[in-house]
Amino acid sequence: MALATTGGADIVPRILLGLAVVLLLAKLGGELFERVGQPAVLGELLAGIAIGNAHVFGLTTFDFLRDEATFSVLAEIGVVLLLFEVGLESNVKEMLGVGPMALAVAVIGVIVPSVLGFGAAVLFYPEESFYAHLFVGTILCATSVGITARVLKDLGRLDQRESKIILGAAVIDDVLGLVTLATVTGMIAAADSGRSMGAGAIVAIVGKAAGFLLVSVLVGLWLSPRLFRLATYLRSKGLLLTLSLSFCFLLAFAAHEFGLAPIVGSFTAGLILEEGHYRELARREAMNLHHALQPIAAFLVPVFFVLMGLRVDVRVFADPSVLGFAAVLTAAAIVGKQACSAAVWERGLDRILVGIGMVPRGEVGLIFAGIGATLILSGHAVVTPPIFSAAVIMVIVTTLVTPPLLKWRFSAKRSVSR
Amino acid sequence: MALATTGGADIVPRILLGLAVVLLLAKLGGELFERVGQPAVLGELLAGIAIGNAHVFGLTTFDFLRDEATFSVLAEIGVVLLLFEVGLESNVKEMLGVGPMALAVAVIGVIVPSVLGFGAAVLFYPEESFYAHLFVGTILCATSVGITARVLKDLGRLDQRESKIILGAAVIDDVLGLVTLATVTGMIAAADSGRSMGAGAIVAIVGKAAGFLLVSVLVGLWLSPRLFRLATYLRSKGLLLTLSLSFCFLLAFAAHEFGLAPIVGSFTAGLILEEGHYRELARREAMNLHHALQPIAAFLVPVFFVLMGLRVDVRVFADPSVLGFAAVLTAAAIVGKQACSAAVWERGLDRILVGIGMVPRGEVGLIFAGIGATLILSGHAVVTPPIFSAAVIMVIVTTLVTPPLLKWRFSAKRSVSR
Find, among A332, A359, A339, the residue nearest to A108 by Cα: A339
pLDDT-based confidence at residue A1 (cuts at 50, 70, 90): very low
Looking at the domain assignment, is residue A5 inside a domain? no
Provide the greatest CA pair distance for chain B: 69
Mutation target for B interface from A5, A15, A16: give the one with most B CBs within 10 A. A16
Chain B CB within 8 Å of residue A54 CB: no
Nearest to B256 among A7, A235, A311 (CB): A7
pLDDT (average), residues B242-259: 92
Tell me B2's DSSP state: -
Chain A CB within 8 Å of residue B42 CB: no
Query: How many structural domains are present in chain A?
Result: 1
Are residues A299 and B304, on separate chains, in Cβ contact within 8 Å? no
Averaged confidence pLDDT in chain B: 83
Q: Looking at residue A86, what is its pLDDT?
A: 81
Element (H, E) at B80: helix B69-88
Question: Which amino acid is residue B26, in one-letter code?
Answer: A
The neighbouring-strand residues paired with A377 are A380
Looking at the domain assignment, is residue A52 inside a domain? yes
Q: Looking at residue B5, what is its pLDDT?
A: 39
Looking at the domain assignment, is residue A4 inside a domain? no
- For B44-81, what is each residue's pLDDT tens digit? 888 888 888 887 787 777 777 877 888 889 988 998 99
Give dist(CA A251, CA B150) in Å, integer: 30
Tell me A128's DSSP state: S
Looking at the domain assignment, is residue B3 inside a domain? no
Find, among B33, B56, B75, the residue nearest to B303 by Cα: B75
Are residues A242 and B79, on separate chains, in Cβ contact within 8 Å? no
Distance from CA of residue B281 to its chain's centroid? Answer: 32
- Which CATH number characterizes residue B102's domain? 1.20.1530.20
Residue B100 pLDDT > 80: yes
Q: Looking at residue B414, what is its pLDDT?
A: 60
Chain B CB within 8 Å of residue A123 CB: no
Looking at the domain assignment, is residue A3 inside a domain? no
Contacts A–B by Cβ distance under 8 A: 261
Are residues B6 and A263, on separate chains, in Cβ contact within 8 Å? yes
Taking each helix axis from N to C end, the angle separating A161-193 and A262-272, rounded to the nearest 10 degrees, works out to: 150
The neighbouring-strand residues paired with B381 are B376
Q: Looking at residue B196, what is its pLDDT?
A: 62
Q: pTM for the complete prediction?
A: 0.85
Report A:301-320 residues touching B (Cβ under 8 A): 304, 307-308, 311-313, 316
Inter-residue contact B273 to B251 (CB < 8 Å): no
Are residues B72 and A257, on separate chains, in Cβ contact within 8 Å? no
Left if phi > 0, otherwise alpha if psi is -120 to 50, otherwise beta: which for A194?
A: left
CA distance B73 to chain A (A): 6
- For B287-334, what is each residue's pLDDT tens digit? 888 889 999 999 999 998 888 788 777 777 787 878 888 899 999 988
Other Cβ atoms closer than 10 A to B182: 17
- For B125-148, what is each residue's pLDDT tens digit? 888 888 889 889 988 887 877 788
* Chain A residues lying within 8 Å of B3, measured CB to CB: 308, 311-312, 362-363, 366, 395-396, 399
Chain A CB within 8 Å of residue B364 CB: yes
- For B323-333, what is each residue's pLDDT tens digit? 888 899 999 98
Chain A CB within 8 Å of residue B362 CB: yes
Report A:373-412 residues touching B (Cβ under 8 A): 392, 395-396, 399
Looking at the domain assignment, is residue A6 inside a domain? no
pLDDT (average), residues A31-37: 84
- For A44-72, what is each residue's pLDDT tens digit? 888 888 888 887 787 777 777 877 888 88
Looking at the domain assignment, is residue B8 inside a domain? no
Q: Looking at residue A243, what is its pLDDT?
A: 93
The neighbouring-strand residues paired with B377 are B380
Give dist(CA B415, CA B251) in Å, integer: 40
Other Cβ atoms closer than 10 A to A196: 10
Looking at the domain assignment, is residue A353 inside a domain? yes
- For A185-230, what is each residue's pLDDT tens digit? 777 777 777 666 667 777 777 788 788 888 998 999 999 999 988 8
More confident residue, B16 or A200: B16
Element (H, E) at A350: none
The neighbouring-strand residues paired with B380 are B377
Residue B4 pLDDT > 50: no
What is the residue range of A63's domain? 13-413
CA distance B348 to chain A (A): 33
Nearest to B234 among A31, A73, A146 (CB): A31
Determine the Cα angle at B334 with ends B331 and B337, to 5°: 135
Determine the Cα angle at B329 with ends B121 and B37, to 5°: 175
More confident residue, A177 or A218: A218
